[in-house]
A and B are shown apart, each in its own frame.
Chain A
Amino acid sequence: MITNFILAPILMHLFTAIMLLFTMRYLRLQRIISVTGNIIAFVLCLRLFFVTLEHDYLIVQIGNWQAPFGIIFVSDTLSAIMVLLTAIVSLSVGIYSTAAINPSRIRFGYFMNFHFLIMGLLGVFLTGDIFNLYVWFEIVIISSFVLLTLGGKKMQMEGAIKYVSLNMLASAVFLTAIGILYGITGTLNMADLAVKIGEVENEGLVSVTALLFFAGFGIKSAIFPMYFWLPSSYHTPPSAIAAVFGSLLTKMGVYALIRTFTLIFQPDEFIQWVFIIIAILTLITGGLGTINKKSVRRLLSYLIVCHIGYLIACMGLYTELAFVGMIFYLMHDVVVKSNLLMITGILQKIRNTIDMTRLGGFGKDYPKISFLIAISMFSLVGIPPLSGFWPKIQFFGESLKSGHYVLLGAIIFASFVTLFVMLKTWSEVFWKDSPKRLTEDIDRFAPLRKENKFALIAPIAFLAFVSLYLGLNAGQVYDLAHRTAEELMNPNHYIDAVLNGNFKK
C-alpha cells in the first residue's frame, strides 16, 4: 500500500525535538513535552506495526519519484518490529529520564538530542535507500555523540574519544562501500540494487564491497575484532542513555547487516563462514570479558557484545529457522537489555555505587523492586518460560542440524557465562548482607517524591511485563518471527513490492 503514514512516527519525533529546542530553559515543560511526544509516537508506531501486518508492505515514494530514482521508505515486517521495539524502549526510557536525568543535563538539551536519536533510529529502520540509510546513521551517531559527552566528566571524555573516532571510521568505511556499489551498479535503491547486483560480471568486486559493508556495520554492531570501543565507553554515560545505546544502537548495526545480507548480497559459502567464525569469537571473547567484572554496568557492556554473537551466528547459518530464532532474540534482547541498564541506574540511586563488592542486602530492603529485577535477569539467562528461552532452542537446534559443532559449543558457553554472571550479580547485590552499615543519607531513592519514584519504577515494570509477555505468549511471537524469516528468505516479494507495486504477497 502506498501511504504517507510511514513517515508519521519520524515526523512526530522531529516535531517534539523542535518543540523542545524552543523551551530549553523550562525544566517542567521539557519533561511534559517529551513524555507527551513519546506517547503519541508510541501510538503511531503501534498503528504502523498493525497496518504493516495487515498490508504486508507499506511504501512511500518521496516527491512521487518512481522507485529506482527517488528515495523511498518501506515498512515490511522486520522494519515494523524494529519500529515497535524502538517505540517501546523510547517510551520507557523517556519516562525514566524525567526522574533519572539531573536538571543541568536537561538544560543542555538532553531531551532534544534523545528525540533526534530516536528519529534517526526510526529512519534507519524504515528507509529503502542505501545512501539514505547512511544519512540516518549519521543522524543517530551525532545525537549519540552529544548524549554520550553531555556532562563532560573526565571518564565520559575518555570513553567518548574512542566511541567518536571508531564510529566516524565506520561511517567512512560504509561510505566507501556505497561509493563502490554505486560505481558497479549505478543505483542506490536497495530493491533495485538486489536486482542489478546479480548482473555484475566482476564477482570479486561484489565480494569486496560486501565485506566492506560487513566491516562498516560490524564496527557499529560491536562484533569480535571491532568491539573494543563498546566496553570502554558504555559505562560512562547516565543509565538512561546507556539503556538506549545498549539496546538499540548496536541492534541498528545488526539490522543493517540483516538488511544488506539478505536483500542485496546473498551470502555465499565464504561469507557464511566469515559470519560463523566471527560469531564464535564474539561469543567467547564477550563471554570471557564479563567474568572478572565487579561493576554491574561494565559486566552488562560485555554481555551486550557477547549476545550480538547469537545474532551474527544466525546470519551465518542462514536458514529459515535460524532467522526465526534471530528475530525472536532481537525482540527479547532489546527489551531486556534496556531494562537491565535502567535497573543499574536504580541501584546507583539507592546505594550510590554499582560496584558489586560494595553492594548487598538489596533483596531485604526493597523486595518488590528486587522481584521485578529478577524477572528481567532470569529472562536474560533464558530460564523457561521466560522470553530468553525460546530463541535459544532455535540456536541450538539449527547449529546442531547444520553440523557447526564449534558454534554450538560457543553458544552453550555464552549461555552458561550469562547464567554464571547473572547468578553472581543476584547473590552479590540482592542476597548477601550489605558489607557496610547503611545510613539514611546514602539512599537517594527513598526521599524522592512519589511521582519521581513512579517515573523510575513504572518503565522497569512495563519492560518486565513486555518480557513476560514475549515469554508466555511465545506462540504468537513465534508466528511473527516466522513470518519475518519467510520474508527475509524470499527477498523477491520485497523487490516486487518496491519496483512493481505488488504489495500483497
Chain B
Amino acid sequence: MELLLLLLVGILYSAGIFLMLRRSMVKLLLGLILIGNGANILIFLTGGLTRGKPPIIKDSQTTFTDIYADPVPQALILTAIVISFALTAFAIILLKKVYTTTGTDDLDSLNIEDLDI
C-alpha cells in the first residue's frame, strides 16, 4: 500500500510540474492543485500507515499498550485541505477576472506592459 501511495505522490508531483510549465493559465492552476494534493498524500504517508488501530485509550487502561495510528498527519492534512480549498477558489475567480480583462488564456501574452521599462 505504501508503495502504491508513493507512486501516486510521484505521479501527482510530476504531472503538476508538467502542467505548470504549459502556457495556459487553466493548466497552471490545475498543476498547482495537483501539487497541493500530492503534498497532502505525502504528509499522510510520512506519518506511517497503521490499519485498524485508532488512537483511543480503552476504559480499562491508562496508557497505550499497542501501536496506534498517528492522528497528527490527519489533522495537518485537514488544515492544508481547507487552506488549499480557499486558495483554489480565489485563484479560479482571479483567472476568470484575468480572462475577462485581458481576453486571453495565454500566459505569454500577459507581459506586454512589462516590455516598456
Contacts and interface: CB of A to CB of B under 8 A. Distances in A.
| Interface of A: prevailing SS | helix
A158 B86 contact: no
Interface stretch (A72-80, A161-169, A192-200, A272-280): A161-169
Contacts of B98: 157-158, 160-161
A142 B87 CA distance: 7
A393 interface: no
Given A161-B98, A180-B46, A135 B79 contact: yes
Nearest to A289: B117
B76 A182 contact: yes
B72 A188 contact: yes
Contacts of B39: 172, 175-176, 179
A298 B117 contact: yes
A466 B73 CA distance: 45
Contacts of A162: 110
A320 to B, nearest CB: 35
B35 A172 contact: yes
A471 B102 CA distance: 47
B8 interface: no
Contacts, number: 100
A164 B91 contact: yes
A179 B91 contact: no
Given A160-B94, A172-B36, A182-B72, A292 B87 contact: no
Interface string B13-29: 00000001000010011
Contacts of B102: 154, 157-158
B87 A183 contact: no
B64 interface: no
Contacts of A183: 45-47
A131 B76 contact: yes
A169 B59 CA distance: 46
A149 B91 contact: no
Nearest to B25: A161
A400 interface: no
Contacts of A295: 117
B46 A182 contact: yes
A360 B104 CA distance: 38
Contact of A176 (B42, B110, B111): B42
A56 interface: no
A232 interface: yes
A184 B45 CA distance: 12
Nearest to A168: B32
Interface string B71-89: 0110010011001001100
A169 B32 contact: yes
A138 B87 contact: yes
Interface string A407-433: 000000000000000000000000000
Contact of A155 (B25, B97, B113): B113
Most buried by B among A135, A154, A175, A186: A175
Contact of A232 (B45, B86, B114): B114
Contact of B20 (A138, A155, A169, A292): A169
A157 B117 contact: no
Interface string B46-78: 110000000000000000000000101100100
A141 B84 CA distance: 12
B42 A292 contact: no
A153 B98 CA distance: 9
Contacts of A179: 39, 42-43, 46, 73, 76
A145 B117 contact: no
Interface string B94-117: 110110011000010011011001
Nearest to A158: B110
A293 interface: yes
A294 interface: yes
B97 A157 contact: yes
Nearest to B75: A131
A349 to B, nearest CB: 22
Nearest to A162: B110
A153 B101 CA distance: 8
A164 B29 CA distance: 10
A175 B80 contact: yes
A268 B29 CA distance: 36
A397 interface: no
B101 A168 contact: no
Contacts of B35: 169, 172
B83 to A, nearest CB: 5
Contacts of A103: none
A493 to B, nearest CB: 27
Contacts of B20: 165, 169
A152 interface: yes
A19 interface: no
Contact of A180 (B32, B38, B42): B42
A171 B36 CA distance: 9
B113 to A, nearest CB: 6
A461 interface: no
- The 10 A-B residue pairs with the shortest CB-CB distance, nearest first, are A183-B46, A179-B43, A175-B39, A179-B42, A172-B35, A158-B110, A157-B98, A138-B83, A176-B39, A154-B101
12 contacts: A145-B90, A149-B97, A152-B101, A158-B110, A161-B94, A164-B90, A169-B20, A172-B39, A175-B80, A179-B42, A180-B42, A232-B111
